[in-house]
Structure 1
Amino acid sequence: MTEQLPPGPRGRLLRGNRPDYEADRLGFLLRCHEDYGDIWSFDDSTVVIGAPDAVHEILGRTNGDYLAEVNFFAGGFADGGFVDGGDMAGAAHLAEVWMTARRKVSRGFHRKVVTAHAGRLIGMLDERLERTAGRPVDVQPLMANISGCMVADFCFGGEGAELVETVDSLVAAGTSIVSAARILPRWLPVARHRRFVSARRELKAQFGEIIEQRRARPAPDSPRDLLDVLLAAPDLSPHQIQELLRVTLLASHGVPGAALAWCVRELSFRPDIRLRIEVEAEAWEAREAPPELSELPYTEAFVKEILRAYPPTWLLGRTARRRVRIGEWTLPPGHEIMFSPYLVHRDPRWWNEPGKIDPQRWLGEKVPHTPHAYFPFGAGPRVCLGAHLGMMQLTLVTSWLVRHYEIDVEEPGTVPANGSALLAPRALRASFAVRDHTATASPH
């Protein structure tokens, strides 16, 4: 079977398509999709796919015909450096380690732990918002900090707060590597690589200290967080526990915060949506525990719609593990396949009025899209393990924000043309003041 690569833009002499892509990533991908169709070549080693069925098939065959991109935030590196992304055997080994981790860490996503986390969630949110004292702030960094605290709490309970700053440093160091105009070998001891390795070692040391302190205390009657669950598992070594926690903490970093920033932005444009959410938020009244998601259907639908229109993880990738065929094209081993939830979620072939923010589309009897055209959390064997947890966090926080805060958006922000690792609104500023909600809202 001979490799047959699809056509694509030729790009500039010696520099290819990267300058045009870097100038306007989303716009460049959209233009090429319009010019070349649902599968086209970005360069000699990368194709981009826009058809939901093809994307779904590739995601479903991950760990078999395809490998997920090496994510060194979530384990694709060693203490002494980074795993070479071109090493297929090493990447395959990482895939197996990752899947083993997923199977074991899934034990932590059970009802008791999620319920305990939900009970602490709002206290964390209020505490962070109180620090702003009602002053205008940059929303995305604020929400990123809040979401980091949420994930750390799920993993470590109250002991996780001290980790957030180190995680921020690690992610910032990693982002500077993947966003650099010139990609250097990962083993090269340049400043950005040293910062990354240093932050990773600091996080590992903090993990070890928390785990040892927890081991020294009597086990609780019921697990309060993911660490309790993992410590109770008889077949996990201290190293495995540490790696599983690191994977969970880092893989979730920033995504809920970006989604919450989009929620704030859209609510500033849509008082009709805000009012529907406020009425529904009365489910919180006179309750010690947060409401179930089933009590907040419209709020959950709004969150789903935000994840459709502005998926924080806007670009995904896989690597062909062996020679594969996609449509009429044959790709060699090692070829990269990229696809964008953002573009698929906004394609009018798969959605009715995709440019419109309409939570109601999720409340009808029929699925509001062509099969496989909605994947904000990915799909297949590598689907986001915390998808349900993330929906719970986003829905409860959005409901509480609307019910208990006056949100005054000073600068509405813009949709970034240059999506980086996460898609988040640029220059969004707002203030959050505790509101008097003694009067009952009315939808009429």
Structure 2
Amino acid sequence: MSGDPPGPQGDRLTGNLHSFTSDPLGFLTDCAREYGDVVNISSHNVLLGDPGDIERMLVDREGVFAKTTAETRQRTRKRGFPRAMMNSEGADWRHKRTRVSPAFTRALVAGAADLAHQEASELADRWPTGEPLDPAPAVARLALRTVTKLMFGSAMSDEDVAAVSRLVREIMDVSLSPITLPDWVPAPRAVRMRRALRDVDRVIAGVAGRSHAADPSAAPVLRALLDGDPAPSQEELRDELATLVLSGFETTKNAVLWCCEQLARHPAVADRVAAEATAAETTAAEGAGAGRLAALPFTDAVVRETMRLYPPAWLTSRETIEEVEFGGYRIAPGTTVTVSQWVTHRDPRWHADPAGFRPERWLGGAGQPPRGAYFPFGLGPRACIGAAVAGTEVTVVVAELCRRFRFELDDPAAVRPRPALSLQPSGLGLRLRARQVADAAG
């Protein structure tokens, strides 16, 4: 097949910039449905939709694609964490991934289950019932305390949680802007970002300092970094810890919030989760770890289905470093190739009733989607290193909160997905009704 892939022409001067920035989820969905599995969405940007092509891009194409280029790293070096594993390439990335991977063990996942249950139980004790509630701040605190205590053996204080939350908010606001100003421009947003980065530097240094002498089993990720050969510089340690904390926190927080939103809309599903959680609670011993997760198969399916509809990452891109072919089209070097979890997870070719909330689809049996049709945490060697930990935390937290409460949406029509760097629920307000144990069990 010759020529360029099909795609929308857009405005003569700005192309499809306005369409994308005003409604990125709708724009990408319309592109895929109208033009097929290989779409030109700009002069140097191609959208893929076929699961086989997605898998090839994310799993099988090392040496053909780069996650970050030297130009990208140079452009963002003052606004992010350039020395972190997730912002590295090639041999540098492989070294950093190998250094930290041994910390992400089954024991860490089991510890995640116990810590998440403890934090969720404490949160449930504090949450008021019957009145309008913005759940995001409390869930953010829970997620940050869990991820820092799990990885570093030390939970964040409320002051530290507030500092990290400010940085995440600034990062998300920047990611929504179609215009990136130079670093030297003293715009209010840039000033806030620099201040937030300094605050997080202080927080991470404090967490690392408190955990330095910790038992390696109580601070496995930090110890894996400190014991690396060669040991990381202070700047590299800061970048690694910051990205692990921020990504783990944001993923868990948003997934829990979206689960609460979906369970409020589907009370029969919520009742089933509550019953399962009550049964698990009566049989789980203290420190049940992975056994707790094994007792929650339906809740796990609810989390999977929620992340199908509202994936933590809604867009993933790579840049071609040599020519590659998709769908019969030759894609030139220097092209940004994009896949969208939001689009693919809702494609009726791979998911029956794609707009419906059907947790049962993840309980086994025939009809499972192709590998490249469901990838909330990515695929391949650069998939999220903490995917199992995050999934465990979300499942256990959702089970405990649903065991204790019935969720009601304060204004169902107000809830909208906010596609920043992650997919956040905007306008989510809840009212909580206390459950009786007998109600949950019956």
Alignment TM-score, normalising by the size of structure 1: 0.86
Matched ranges for 1:191-210 at <5 A: 191-210=188-207
Aligned to 1:269: 265
Separation of aligned partners in 1, 2:232 and 2:173: 33
Matched ranges for 1:357-376 at <5 A: 357-366=357-366, 368-376=368-376
Q: 1:210 to 1:421 in 2, by over 3 A?
A: closer
Separation of aligned partners in 2, 1:45 and 1:440: 53
1:259 maps onto 2:255 in alignment: yes
Q: 1:413 to 1:249 in 2, by over 3 A?
A: farther
Matched ranges for 1:345-364 at <5 A: 345-364=345-364
Aligned to 2:96: 101
Separation of aligned partners in 2, 1:413 and 1:19: 25
State the shift of 1:309 in Å. 1.6
Aligned to 1:428: 428
Aligned to 2:38: 39
Aligned to 1:87: none
Separation of aligned partners in 2, 1:48 and 1:316: 10
Q: Secondary structure of 1:253's partner?
A: helix
Q: 1:255 to 1:93 in 2, by over 3 A?
A: closer
Aligned to 2:390: 390
**Are the aligned partners of 1:138 and 1:429 in contact in 2 as well (CA < 8 Å)?**
yes
Matched AA of 1:245 = L
Aligned to 2:7: 8
Q: 1:235 to 1:417 in 2, by over 3 A?
A: closer
Separation of aligned partners in 1, 2:404 and 2:73: 35
Equivalent residue in structure 1 for 2:144, among 126, 145, 148: 148
State the shift of 1:264 in Å. 1.0
Deviates more, 1:180-189 or 1:279-288: 180-189
**Are the aligned partners of 2:163 and 2:200 in contact in 1 as well (CA < 8 Å)?**
yes
Percent sequence identity over aligned pairs: 28
Separation of aligned partners in 2, 1:306 and 1:131: 25
Separation of aligned partners in 2, 1:440 and 1:206: 40
Matched ranges for 1:169-318 at <5 A: 169-186=166-183, 188=185, 190-215=187-212, 217=213, 219-220=214-215, 222-231=217-226, 235-237=230-232, 239=234, 240-281=236-277, 282-285=279-282, 287-290=285-288, 291-318=291-318
- Listed one character per residue, the Cα deviations across residues 186-244 of structure 1 (whole Å, up to 9, x for unaligned) are 565544334323322332233223323433x4x42743553245445565335354333
Separation of aligned partners in 1, 2:209 and 2:38: 51
Separation of aligned partners in 1, 2:40 and 2:102: 41
- Listed one character per residue, the Cα deviations across residues 333-385 of structure 1 (whole Å, up to 9, x for unaligned) are 22111111111111111122222211111113335213421111110121011
Q: Secondary structure of 1:183's partner?
A: coil
Separation of aligned partners in 1, 2:229 and 2:339: 40
Separation of aligned partners in 1, 2:71 and 2:192: 14
Separation of aligned partners in 2, 1:354 and 1:429: 25
Q: 1:420 to 1:174 in 2, by over 3 A?
A: closer
**Are the aligned partners of 1:259 and 1:306 in contact in 2 as well (CA < 8 Å)?**
yes
Q: 1:272 to 1:283 in 2, by over 3 A?
A: same
**Are the aligned partners of 1:107 and 1:229 in contact in 2 as well (CA < 8 Å)?**
yes
Matched ranges for 1:324-339 at <5 A: 324-339=324-339
1:167 maps onto 2:161 in alignment: no
1:401 maps onto 2:398 in alignment: no
Q: Secondary structure of 2:406's partner?
A: strand
Aligned to 1:133: 128
Identify unmatched segments of 5+ residues in structure 2.
Answer: none
**Are the aligned partners of 1:416 and 1:423 in contact in 2 as well (CA < 8 Å)?**
no
- Listed one character per residue, the Cα deviations across residues 392-431 of structure 1 (whole Å, up to 9, x for unaligned) are 1111111111112233332235563662222233322113
**Are the aligned partners of 1:144 and 1:257 in contact in 2 as well (CA < 8 Å)?**
yes
- RMSD, aligned CA: 3.2
Q: 1:349 to 1:116 in 2, by over 3 A?
A: closer
Q: How many residues align?
A: 432
Q: Which has the higher helix share?
A: 2
Matched AA of 2:422 = L
Separation of aligned partners in 2, 1:72 and 1:261: 35
Aligned to 2:105: 110
Q: 1:425 to 1:70 in 2, by over 3 A?
A: farther
State the shift of 1:56 in Å. 1.0
Separation of aligned partners in 2, 1:225 and 1:159: 14
- Listed one character per residue, the Cα deviations across residues 99-133 of structure 1 (whole Å, up to 9, x for unaligned) are 43222221221233333343222332244455543
1:119 maps onto 2:114 in alignment: yes
Separation of aligned partners in 1, 2:88 and 2:382: 15
Separation of aligned partners in 1, 2:371 and 2:425: 28
State the shift of 1:19 in Å. 1.4
**Are the aligned partners of 2:176 and 2:419 in contact in 1 as well (CA < 8 Å)?**
no
